[in-house]
Amino acid sequence: MRLTGLLPALALLLTASAADAQEKRLMEAEDQFLMRNVGSPVVSPDGAWIAYTVSRTSLEDERSYTRIYMSSADGGEPVALTADEKSAGSPGWSPDGRYITFTASRDGGESQVWALDRRGGEAFALTDIEQGVSGYRWSGDATRLLLTIRDPEEEEGEDKKANAPQDPWVIDRLQFKRDNTGYLTGNRKTHLYVFDVDSKDLTQLTTGDWDESLGVWSPDGTRIAFASNRTEEPDGNENSDIWIVSADLGEPTDSPSRVTSNEGSDGSPAWSPDGRTITYTTGIRPDLIWYATTHLAVISADGGEPRLLTTELDRNVRSPRFSEDGEWIWFRLEDSGENHIARIRADGGAVERIVVGPLSASGFDWAASTFAVQVSTLDRPTEIFTVPGVAQGNSGGSGDRARVTMHNDDFLSTVLVAETKNVQFRSEDGTEVEGFVTFPPDYVEGQRYPTLLRNHGGPVSQFAHSFQFESQLFAANGYLVVRTNPRGSSGYGQDFSAALWADWGNRDFKDAMAGIDYAIEQGWADADRLGVGGWSYGGILTNYVITQTTRFKGAITGASEVLYIANYGHDHYQRQWEAELGLPWEGDNRENWESISPFNKVQDIETPTLIMGGEQDWNVPILNSEQLYQALRRRGVPTQLVVYPGQSHGIRVPSYQVDRYERYLAWYDKWVKTATKPVTKDGS
């Protein structure tokens, strides 16, 4: 595991100057809407411009908006290409450089591909598909678009009464519901189409009872490589493979050419420049479901035996892409709380990390002499950068970065940004664990602060070197915030992640508690004023914490689970539950379900606990939150249940987002910040 050196003296890093304190203010809950989410960089064919998205959320309008911007690769004032209140996404450049394209739903219609002619004029719709377009990609000669389109809905019968109630949901598939979608009815699938830009002709390429991912054009424009799970029961496995279909079919086919045959999940195909090879991501341990590491592979476009390039790396990779000369494969790399942009020789060898360091790099693109990447750090939200010296993805460059966009500078100039320290510590069994500690902006060395242990979701996820508003808000309100990456987290290799297999709430609990103990040992945290909380698996881990210790004065568990058997056939994880715990009615499997259920230790909870969730959450249904609330209320433990109407797993309504943060602060202020030391029998 990576070991990092200590940062410079904490006092110098964490004490805001008197001038800053006078000019800037502490963050508030509503400040989340002053931040801008910058992403999806795409470079123009000549390398002169970078198009990208900027998203904002309006508390007044109760919705979010996304605009397309364009900046010179050398920096400077950005140009807004789309209107502020007409959302757009998926920016792209036609290979001839004539058009900037994007997806948008306008005038109440479905999502279409729109274009802006760089020679001038208003944006216009390229496509006019009745059910809308899911995604698109330009062909290399700029004459065609590859589209993903979902099958149209069945038309209602002419004899249906105007005031008739909604038809019942009729379901016959194994995966019968999904969060943000609801019940999965009908047999609508997503297929591949080719759209001719000049003639407007639309040709369907694939058909059948399977969904296809947005494919990629071969360099000569004759073939499409895509990912699809075309097994007999796609709901029962993650066995997606790479397939190839001709781009010039007269009739759609349900029998494309199969390239890979791995039983795990293969995806994100990309062609080599000569069209002979495909690189892609692969999961070679489907039995480990989400705990398995995703590797980089290459295979002949004709199929055969793949060559795995990153098994010794033992870290998750994403978004592979060949360099223009075909010698390198670039990809995103997740490693130990950091996210890098790296490359490896197409025939194997050592991994070279180009965009590296204490940061989170994600989307990247290049053309001509410009390499663009989006980067966030602990003290700054995501912006777009260029990396000098990386021409056509062939040269490694120095790794230095030049910032292109500054969309969050105005906001950051008005608020005090709390310092966050990256830390490593040992768990009870000696395992090294990584985490982050955020200090109040007015931190004074030697003073102990009320401290919050905040747990991440997943469990196969991680806290990273990126800006996190929540920690900033808690710190602005006087709290020290401890975030750990316990076992189960994704950035530390397959064994570290799979250590949680069918054993939730054991090693991850000990790792998280070790983070709190470390903060106390350093003299930062007040051991008598501790709080804990999280959302999704962060809430689940919170439930494990409060059933095993009474050290915390207040807890907040959001979108969590406590009695797992109650979720079988109720949430959308049927396949994962069965893989990890087994069918609950077979053999001794029921014990697997019960042994890790916090509800079976609810009698040990003494911590005042705020319980929250979305009414329509099918990821982690509100059912379990209601059960936990009922038990605590019956036992007389201080508690409250907050259910957000109409919300799924992620709370999307802006006013609800503010409400949630305000309730967080009120609960912690009541039970944690003002907590006093327990009085012993002798009165000390």
What's the mean pLDDT in 429-436? 98
Residue 98 resides in a domain:
no
Beta strands in 301-443 (DSSP E): 307-308, 317-322, 328-335, 338-345, 352-355, 360-367, 370-377, 380-386, 402-403, 420-426, 432-438
Nearest C-alpha neighbor of 147 from the set 170, 128, 165: 128
In a domain, 270, yes or no: no
Residue 601 lies in a domain: yes
Read off the pLDDT of residues 133-159 as tens digits, 9 standing for 90 and up.
999 999 999 999 999 999 988 776 667
| Gap between the Cα atoms of 571 and 556, Å rounded | 22
Please compute the mean of the pLDDT values over residues 12-25 and round it to a whole number.
Answer: 55
State the Cα–Cα distance between residues 50 and 91, nearest whole angstrom: 10
Structural domain of residue 460, as residue ranges?
Answer: 416-673
More confident residue, 111 or 85: 111
Residue 646's pLDDT band (cuts 50, 70, 90): very high
- 648 occurs within a structural domain: yes
The whole-number average pLDDT for the span 614-642 is 97
- Are residues 425 and 518 in contact, defined by beta-carbon separation less than 8 angstroms? yes
Residue 389 lies in a domain: no
Per-residue pLDDT tens over the stretch 178-194? 998 889 888 889 999 99
How many domains does the chain fold into?
A: 1
Q: Per mean pLDDT, which range of 162-171, 511-520, 542-551 is the poorest?
A: 162-171
Sorting pLDDT into bands at 50, 70 and 90, what band is 677?
low
pLDDT digits (tens, 9 = 90+) for 363-381: 999 999 999 999 999 999 9
The domain that contains 669 carries what CATH number? 3.40.50.1820
Residue type, 613: G
Give the residue, 394 or 283, on which the prediction is more confident.
283
* Average pLDDT of span 14-30: 69
Query: Does some domain include residue 59?
Result: no
Q: Is the pLDDT of residue 43 over 50?
A: yes
Judge whether residue 17 has pLDDT over 70.
no
Domain membership flag for residue 501: yes
Looking at residue 156, what is its pLDDT?
Answer: 62
Residue 475 pLDDT level (bands cut at 50, 70, 90): very high
Instruction: Check whether 565 has a pLDDT greater than 80.
Output: yes
DSSP per-residue string spanning 88-148:
EEEEEE-TTSSEEEEEE--TT---EEEEEETTS---EES---TT--SEEEE-TTSSEEEEE
pLDDT on residue 400: 85
Instruction: Provide the whole-model pTM.
Output: 0.92
Q: What is the SS3 assignment for 129-146? A: CCCCCCEEEECCCCCEEE
Nearest Cα neighbor of 508 from 572, 451, 439, 462 is 462
Burial class of residue 278 in the structure, from the number of CB atoms within 10 Å of its CB (0-12 exposed, 13-18 middle, 19+ buried):
buried
Closest CA to 481 of 227, 336, 225, 665: 665
Provide the mean pLDDT of the chain.
92
* In the predicted structure, residue 33 carries a pLDDT above the cut 50: yes
pLDDT category at 525 given cuts 50, 70, 90 is very high
- Asked if residue 275 is part of any domain, the answer here is no
